[in-house]
Structure 1
Amino acid sequence: MIIDYGATPPIPELSLSNGSHLANYRRVYAASETAAERGQMTLDDWFAAADEAGIGLTVIKGRDVETTFGGRVTNEAVAEVVRAHPARFIGFAGVDPNKGMTALRELEYAVTELGLRGLNLQCFEHRLAIDDRRMYPLYAKCIELDIPVNIHVGINFSLNSSPEFGRPMMLDRVLCDFPELRVCAAPPGWPWVEELLAVAWRHPNLSIGLVAARPRLLAVEHSGYGALLQYGRTILRDRMIVGTAWPMMPMKRVIDEVRALPIEADIADRWLGGNARAFLRL
C-alpha cells in the first residue's frame, strides 16, 4: 500500500485559518497548483485521484501558529477527519512551542484522547530554531508518548520568517540529546541536502521526507537533490518517505515520478509505503 506522508485534502477545517504569511508559496508553486486542485475539487474527487495514484493512506497534520501568525489547524479537526475516514487518514497533532505548558497539555490530550499518532512542528512558522530550548519539552513528551515527530527542515518560502530555522545541523544536536526520538525531516533539506544526509547517517532514528519537492529532480544534474538519490538507494534506503504535499503537486505525478527514478522497484516500494509503515509503526 502506498502511504502519502503529507497532503491537505479539500476539507475546509484542514486549511490554516490565517495563512497570509505563506503567500509567497503560491508564487513558487504556481506551475503545479492548478485552479482545479486548489479550489474546485470535492472530497469525492480527491479520493478518486488518490485511488488513481494508488494511495491507500494519507497523513494529515495539525498546525498551531497562533502566537506568531494567528492561524491554526486544530487537533480536534484533524481527529474528526480521521474518525470520519479511518481507513484513509492518519493524523498528527500540531501545537505551538511558544505556548509552553499549554502546548505540552494539548499534545498529550491529542494523543491520549483524540487518538492522533504523531506531532507536527513547522519551526519556521514558530520562528524557533529546531534546537531551541522551548522545543525540548515537546521532544521529551514525544518519547514519553512513543510517537514520532515531523520537523520542517530546509528552506521555507515565507517572506515573514527566516530560512535559517530549517538548518539540518540543529537537528543533529537534538538527536544527540534525545537519541530515542523518532523524527522525519521534511522537506528533504534543500539547499542543505548533504548536511541532512550526514545527520541521517549519524542517527538511525532520523528519516527523510521527500515532500514538497518533485521526485524527478533527484535525477536532474545540478538540481541540488542528487545526493538524495545516491544515499536513498543505498545506506538510507529504509529511511526515505514520500509525500505528495497536495495541493502543491498532483498525487499521481509524484508517485509516477518516484517509479521513474533509476532505483530498483523494491526500493521504490519502500519509499512509497514500507518506510512510512515502519516509521509510523502501523
Structure 2
Amino acid sequence: MIIDYGATPPIKTLSLGDGSHLANYRRVYASSEKASARGETTLDQWFANVDAAGIDLTVIKARDVETTFGGRVTNEAVAEVVAAYPGRFLGFAGVDPNKGMTAVRELEYAVRELGLKGLNLQCFENQLAIDDRRMYPLYAKCVELDIPVNIHVGINFSLKSSPDFGRPEMLDRVLCDFPELRAIASPPGWPWVQELLAVAWRQPNLWIGLVAMRPRLMAVENSGYGPLMQYGRTVLKDRMIVGTAWPMQPMDRVLDEVRALPIEHDIAARWLGGNARTFLGL
C-alpha cells in the first residue's frame, strides 16, 4: 500500500486563499511546480495521476493561520472532501494555537464529530515556536484523542516569518514533556538534518516526513540530506514517511526517486507506505 503523506488536490475549498505570505515559495519551487502542472491540472486528471502512480491513500491537511496571515483551510472542508471520495483521502485537522481554548475545542470537534485523524501545525505560519506553551494544550489533547500531530520542521521560505520556528531541538523538549505524543517532523529539518536525526534517535515517538524535498538529494554529496538516507535505512528505517507535496512536485517523480535510491526494496516499501500505516494507526 502506497500512502502519499501530504498533497493538496485541485479542490478550491482546500486552497488557503490569498496566501501572499507564501509568495517566495512560488519562486523557490517554480521549476518543480511547472513540472507538476500546478494550476493546470483538473481533479479528474489529478486522480488519474494518483492511480498511475499507484497511490492508494492521500493525506490532506487543514490549516488555520487566521490570527497571523488571515487564511484558513477549514476542518469542515477537509472532512467534506474525505466523505466525498471514500477510501481516497485521510484528513488532518488544522487549528490556530493563538486562539487558545477555542483551538482546543475545534480540534476535539474535528476529531470526534468530523472524523479527522490528526492535527496539522505549521508553526512558522502561526509564528509560534514548536515548544511555545500556547501549543501545549493542543499536544495534550492529541494524546487524549490518540491522534498524531504533523509539525513543520526545518527552514521555511516565507519572507514574512522566521526560519527559527523550525528548529528540531524544540521538538525534543516537547516530546520529553509529552512522551506519549505521536509526532512527525515534516519537512525533514533541512538545514538542521543531523539535529533532527539526533532528536528522532532519542525519541521513539517521532517520525520524519520526507516531504517537500527531492528524494534524489539524499544521494547527492554535500546536499545536506544524505544523513536521512543513512539513518533512514538503519536505526530509523521504521520512521521515515514519504509525501509528494503535490503540486509542489510531480507525484510519480517523487516515488521514482525514492525507488532509485541505493536502499533495499523493503526499506523503500516502508518509507512509501508501511511506516505511514503505523504512524496513522491504520
Which position in structure 1 is the counterpart of 2:254? 254
2:16 corresponds to: 16
Cα displacement string for residues 24-72 of structure 1 (whole angstroms, at most 9, x for unaligned residues): 0000000110287211111110011011111110000000000000000
Alignment-derived partner of residue 34 in structure 2? 34
Amino acid at match of 1:137: P
Q: What is the match of residue 227 of structure 2?
A: 227
Determine the structure 1 residue equivalent to 2:207: 207
Structure 1 length as normaliser, TM-score? Answer: 0.99
CA contact (8 A) 2:36 2:249 kept: no
SS of residue paired to 1:256: helix
Partners in 2 of 1:32 and 1:69 — Cα distance?
A: 25
Counterparts of residues 1-282 of structure 1 (less than 5 Å): 1-34=1-34, 37-282=37-282
Displaced runs of 4+ in structure 1, greater than 4 A?
Answer: none
| RMSD (Å) for aligned C-alpha atoms | 0.7
Q: Distance in 2 between matches of 1:53 and 1:192?
A: 31
How many angstroms apart in 2 are the aligned matches of 1:53 and 1:252? 5
Aligned to 2:244, the other structure's residue is in SS state: coil
Change over 3 Å in CA distance of 1:147–1:167 after alignment to 2? same
Secondary structure of 1:31's aligned partner: helix
Count of paired positions: 282
Distance in structure 1 (CA, Å) of the matches to 2:126 and 2:105:
18
Amino acid aligned to 2:62: G
Q: Between the two proteins, what is the percent identity of the paired residues?
A: 83
Are the aligned partners of 1:119 and 1:149 in contact in 2 as well (CA < 8 Å)? yes
For the residues of structure 1 that align with 2:180 and 2:139, how far apart are their CA atoms? 10
Q: What is the letter of the counterpart of residue 154 of structure 2?
A: G
| Structure 1 residue matching 2:56: 3-state secondary structure | strand
Question: Residue 33 and residue 155 in structure 1: after superposition, are their counterparts in 2 closer, same or farther (change >3 A)?
Answer: same
How many Å apart are 1:174 and its aligned residue? 0.1
Cα distance in 2 for residues equivalent to 1:18 and 1:167: 27
Compared CA separation, residues 36 and 6, structure 1 to 2 (3 A): closer
CA distance in 2, matches of 1:189, 1:231: 14
- Matched-pair contact (CA < 8 Å) for 2:67–2:96: yes
**Unaligned stretches of 5+ in structure 2?**
none
* Cα-to-partner distance string for 1:59-93 (whole Å, 9 max, x where unaligned): 00000000000000000000000000121100000
CA contact 2:35–2:249 (8 Å) conserved in 1: no
How far off its partner does 1:17 sit? 2.0
Give how far 1:201 is off.
0.1
Secondary structure in 2 matching 1:184: strand
Q: Which runs of 5+ in 1 are unaligned?
A: none
Separation in 2, partners of 1:87, 1:56? 8
Does the CA contact (< 8 Å) of 2:36 and 2:246 recur in 1?
A: no
Find the aligned partners of 2:182 and 2:227 in 1 and give their Cα distance.
Answer: 23
Q: Which amino acid aligns with 1:169?
A: E
8 Å Cα contact 2:92-2:116 kept in structure 1: yes
* Inter-partner Cα distance in structure 2 for 1:252 and 1:72: 29
Residue 219 of structure 1 deviates from its aligned partner by 0.2
